[in-house]
Amino acid sequence: MTVALRDTPVTPDVVAAHGIRADEYDRIVELLGREPNFTELGVFSLMWSEHCGYKYSRALLSEFPSTGPQVVQGPGENAGAVDVGHGFAVVFKMESHNHPSAVEPYQGAATGVGGILRDVFTMGARPIAMLDSLRFGALDDPHVRYLFRHVVRGVGDYGNCVGVPTVGGEIVFDDAYAGNPLVNAMCLGLIRHEDLMRASAAGPGNAVYVLGASTGRDGIHGASKLASTELSADTVESRPTVQIGDPFTEKLLLEATLELIESGAAVGVQDMGAAGLTSSSSEMAARAGTGIEIDVALVPRREPGMTPYEVLLSESQERMLVVARPDQEPALMAIAEKWDLPCTRIGIVTDDDLWRVLEDGEEVCRIPVAALVDEVPRYVREVQEPSYLAEVHGSMPDPDEIARIDPLAALEGLLSAPTIASKRWVWEQYDHHVQTNTILGPGPAGAALLSIKGTPGALGVSTDGNGRYVYCDPRRGGALAVAEAARNLATVGARPLGVTDCLNFGNPEKDAVYFQFAEAVRGIAEACRAFDAPVVSGNVSFYNESPKGAIYPTPTIGMVGLLEDVEARPRGGGSPGDSLILIGRDGAHLGAGSLLAEVLGIVAGRAPAVDLDAERRHAEIVRELVRGGVAVSAQDVSDGGLAVTAAETCFGLPAACGIEIELPEAEGGPHGAMFGEDGARYLLVVPAERRDLARQRLDSGAVPWREAGRVTSDGRIRFRDVGERPREELERRWRNAISDRMETMEDER
């Protein structure tokens, strides 16, 4: 079988089964000056896949701003990095593990966390925090509960074991994700500038090592589109595509990697992620402008009888590729031994620009490095606006229908909708304190706040993205994801420094999906420019479709910001008599919003308009009020509008407190003001004695604002002239919506 596989003739059928187009094949022949053999074909199919090669997305991604004085490392490395002062930089990236999580939610999520951790510590940075951005179908579906429960457990178990706190994230439940959940994980690491390591295979004559776990047949289908029919049935059957995570080995690998980078025992380090040995070795060579030669027979295996093809394409977890000079080898081996990790020499850096693979000295592949890495086809497609958009925009419900909705019943419904309800059930399963940097963890604020030890500053970090907005309005939706992240940072006093993203879309070969992608990217790019937040890393995940259709186009944005002085952080609290100040205008925009989706069950209208100038100015003033201690806390107004924001603000106040909100007069009823999701808005808690200070500051700032209400002592949530509910009752719904479902309803695999 081994021989049969290797000698499989490369017929047009085999080429097509590898997802390679005829014109692409011709290009391969041209680059090689001959026909590829079967193994080489597999390598091309991986490296030229969207997953590794970004053939549909690269051209568009170049629209992102990626430079700025704070950028220490832009896109192109394992992760990006921005300066946070005092000689430190923060390294960060976000990545998806959607398909693996759909097949095996626990392992899929766990290995997703493992992968993104490696991207960060490969750069020499110690991971200090994780965030997870998740999308599932509706929680009433027992299979969705199964996926949700096990994804959360997988994220938690992996991060908890490695000892990196999961400090934030987001979760949306919507039927659009029923067949295809999204699991995006973001990791941040801290590093001194001079320790930053780049993944390059420099110095011909240097040796190449595999450090860490042995190689099995895991995930061989992972990154490519291999059609199983072309491989004999029994190979496919015996080939587990699910990767099993081993967080303990990851922890050892983390410590060993940081130690070897710090002690200067390596020239370059690269983790083996998608497409394993193939992409890690060719990319390291490409970055250094060298060649590389590897003998697969030397790679430690977990299973007997693996072919070169399998060794090259395996996605076994917890492995690193290390390049070291001969004089570094003893130190490298000593570190590996200290951490009980195998470290094996498998090849050498060459000066011939070739990616050569041997098996027991016999040549298996011989491909110019550039052909694999730089010659990936790039497609830019011209597509029309899909017709569904006009339909969605035109289908807003009648104002009468909205006017008939009982606003307080709607508020109850929104607070108990799992998307809006408290996520405590999730984040209590995540260690969010380890490493003792967590000033604000999940729960109290829209963004997490982490101290940067060794500096007086703190990092704010948030992930955001609203797929429904992007579906209704791709460009606005993209910009709104960035705007919401920036708002969340402003509420903890942090100024944006940089962005990472994970672009989850359907099949880009479909016109509508490509249109959504291109427009969302434009929206993101515009907003990032407005906030001075360059995109320094990211990830694209296409083909998120199931028999039920494509998911909502869902770019998630991970934004990192700086609060220069941790003493200026928001202190929280509040007491009766405090003012609630609304920054921004009163709401009116219900299109594409939560009221329609969660209460009426419809998706209609346009997403809220984006005013980037207002976003920037309002964020600035919120930061100033928070940092000066004028406001003790701030919440941005997002899903569910002012009403939901007010309720959530109330839940953050001491137990006996209530709130009272005044709404502007409006013809069609209070719905727009209560549930409108217009942007650039915040609700601030300002102690009574600082009210005048706030007023002065706001009046001189040319920012629309009003005193929208106050903190009361009667434990009720009241909307003047509309009605009220006991806080206790609303809070119970909000607190228990997810846990009740998860504790009393059964799952089904």
Partner 1 sequence: MTARVEVFVQLKDGMLDPQGKTLEHALEALGYSGVENVRVGKWITFAVEGGCREEIAGRVDEMCRRLLANTVIERFTYKLLEDGE
Partner 2 sequence: MSGVPIGIVRFPGTNCDQDVFDAVAAIDGARPVWLWHKETALGGVRGIVLAGGFAYGDYLRAGAIARFSPIMDRVIAFARSGGPVLGICNGFQILTEAGLLPGALMRNAGLSFVCREQWLRVDSTDTPFTRHFRPRQLVRFPVAHGEGNYVADDETLDRLEGEGRVVFRYVDEAGEATPLANPNGSARNIAGIADERGNVVGLMPHPDRAMSLLVGSQDGREVFRGLLEAAA
Ligand X SMILES: Nc1ncnc2c1ncn2[C@@H]1O[C@H](COP(=O)(O)OP(=O)(O)O)[C@@H](O)[C@H]1O
Q: Give me the active site residues, please.
A: 51, 97
Site membership for partner 1, residue 553 (CB under 8 A): no
Sign of CA dihedral 265, 268, 273, 275: negative
Tokens of 95: 């990545």
Please give the Cα distance from 94 to 634 (Å, whole number).
Answer: 26
Q: Are 160 and 249 in contact (CB under 8 A)?
A: no
Within positions 19 to 78, which residues make up the interface with partner 2, using CB under 8 A?
none
Contact 635, 580 (CB under 8 A): no
What is the nearest approach in angstroms of partner 1 to the Cβ of residue 141?
15
With CB under 5 to 8 Å by kind, the binding choice for 373 among ligand X, partner 1, partner 2, none is none
Could you say which of 97, 135, 217, 319 contacts partner 1 (CB under 8 A)? 217
Residue found by looking up tokens 């360059």 in the block: 534
If the CB atoms of residues 448 and 588 are measured against ligand X, the closer one turns out to be 448
What CA–CA distance (Å, rounded) separates 58 from 466? 23
Distance CA 483, CA 502 (A): 16
Strand order in the sheet with 705-712: 633-636, 682-686, 579-583, 705-712, 658-661, 716-719, 723-726
Site string for partner 2, 154-173 (x = CB under 8 A): --xx--xxxx----------
Which one of residues 432, 487, 690, 710 is an interface residue with partner 2 (CB under 8 A)?
432
Side-chain-side CA neighbours of residue 729 (13 Å): 11
Q: Which is nearer to partner 2, 156 or 605 (CB)?
A: 156
Give the one residue of 62, 232, 436, 696 binding partner 2; rule: CB under 8 A: 436
Could you say which of 20, 79, 90, 213 contacts partner 1 (CB under 8 A)?
Answer: 213
- DSSP-derived 3-state class of residue 401: helix
Does 196 bind partner 2 (CB under 8 A)? Our answer is no
In whole angstroms, how close is the CB of 437 to partner 2 at the nearest point?
8
Which residues lie below 8 Å from residue 316, measured CB to CB, with a gap of 6+? 213, 214, 215, 216, 218, 219, 243, 272, 276, 302
Contact 554, 424 (CB under 8 A): no
Contact 35, 10 (CB under 8 A): yes
Amino acid at 514: Y
Instruction: CB nearer to partner 2: give 246 or 283.
Output: 246
Q: List all residues 6 or more positions away from 467 whose beta carbon is below 8 Å from its beta carbon.
A: 135, 172, 174, 176, 177, 477, 504, 551, 552, 553, 554
Minimum CB separation of residue 247 from Mg ion in Å reads 29
State residue 58 phi and psi, 5-degree precision. -55, -50
**Pick 86 or 302: Cβ nearer partner 1:** 302
Q: Which does 245 bind (CB under 5 to 8 A by kind): Mg ion, ligand X, partner 2, none?
A: none
Residues within window 230-249 making contact with partner 2, judged by CB under 8 A: 246-249
Q: Which stretch, 70-78, 267-275, 317-325, 424-432, contacts ligand X (CB under 6 A)?
A: 424-432
The three-state (H, E, C) secondary structure of 712-743, written as one string: ECCCEEEECCCEEEEHHHHHHHHHHHHHHHHH
Residue 426 vs 527, nearer CB to partner 2: 426
Residue 65 or 441 with smaller CB distance to partner 2: 441
Q: What is the DSSP string of 129-198?
A: EEEEEEEES-TTSHHHHHHHHHHHHHHHHHHHHHT--EEEEEEEE-GGGTTS-EEEEEEEEEEEGGG---
Cβ proximity to partner 1: between 214 and 507 the closer is 214
Residue 429 contacts partner 2 per CB under 8 A = yes
* Selected binder of partner 2 within 54, 339, 531, 675 (CB under 8 A): 339
Is 740 an interacting residue with respect to partner 1 (CB under 8 A)? no
Q: Does residue 302 interact with partner 1 by CB under 8 A?
A: yes
Is residue 442 involved in binding ligand X (CB under 6 A)?
Answer: yes
Q: x/- binding map, residues 125-144, to ligand X, per CB under 6 A?
A: -------x-x----------
Positions in 77-116 near partner 1 (CB under 8 A): 103-104, 107
The binder of partner 2 chosen from 6, 27, 143, 153 (CB under 8 A): 153
Shortest spacing between CB 152 and partner 2, in angstroms: 9
When CB distances are held under 5 to 8 angstroms depending on the partner's kind, the choice from Mg ion, ligand X, partner 2, none that residue 433 binds is partner 2
Q: Provide, rounded to whole angstroms, the least separation between the CB of residue 427 and partner 1.
A: 22
Distance of CA 274 to the CA centre of its chain: 16
Task: Select the binding partner of residue 426 from partner 2, partner 1, ligand X, none (C-beta < 5 to 8 A, by kind).
Answer: ligand X
Total site size for ligand X, rule CB under 6 A: 18
Choosing from 28, 72, 84, 171, the residue that interacts with ligand X (CB under 6 A) is 171
Residue 422 interacts with partner 2 (CB under 8 A): yes or no: no
Indicate which single residue of 73, 224, 451, 500 sits in contact with partner 2 (rule: CB under 8 A): 451
Query: CA torsion sign, 740 to 743 to 746 to 749?
Result: positive
Q: Which of 269, 112, 271 is nearest to 183 (CA)?
A: 112
Structure tokens at 486: 């920036």
Both structure tokens of 465? 């993205």
Asked whether 650 and 717 are in contact (CB, 8 A), the reply is yes
Stretch near Mg ion under the rule CB under 5 A, chosen from 89-97, 220-228, 576-584, 634-642: 634-642
Instruction: Name the residue nearer to partner 1 (CB basis): 318 or 660.
Output: 318
Is the separation of the CB atoms in 562 and 84 below 8 Å? yes
CA distance 556 to 475: 14
The interface region with partner 2, picked from 41-49, 149-157, 546-554, 683-691 by CB under 8 A, is 149-157
Is position 233 an interface residue for partner 1 (rule: CB under 8 A)?
no
Alpha-carbon gap, residue 579 to 594, rounded angstroms: 27
With binding defined as CB under 6 A, does residue 638 bind ligand X?
yes
- Crossing angle of the two packed helices 511-530 and 474-491, in degrees rounded to 10: 40
Selected from 194, 234, 327, 340, the binder of partner 1 by CB under 8 A is: 340
Separation of first and last alpha carbons in the chain: 34
- Nearest residue to Mg ion, by Cβ distance, number only: 639
Beta strands in 351-431 (DSSP E): 354-359, 362-368
C-alpha count within 13 angstroms, C-beta hemisphere, residue 115 = 26
Shortest CB 681 distance to ligand X, Å? 13
Rounded least distance, CB 10 to ligand X, Å: 45
Q: Is 117 in the site for partner 2 (CB under 8 A)?
A: no
Shortest distance, CB of residue 340 to partner 2, whole angstroms?
Answer: 6
Q: Note the residues at the interface with partner 2 (CB under 8 A).
A: 153, 156-157, 160-163, 246-249, 251-252, 339-340, 427-439, 451, 566
Q: Note the residues at the interface with ligand X (CB under 6 A).
A: 132, 134, 166, 168-171, 423, 426-427, 430, 442-443, 445-446, 464, 488, 638
Q: Note the residues at the interface with Mg ion (CB under 5 A).
A: 639
Q: Note the residues at the interface with partner 1 (CB under 8 A).
A: 103-104, 107, 213, 216-218, 238-240, 242, 244-246, 248-249, 302-303, 316-317, 340, 746-749
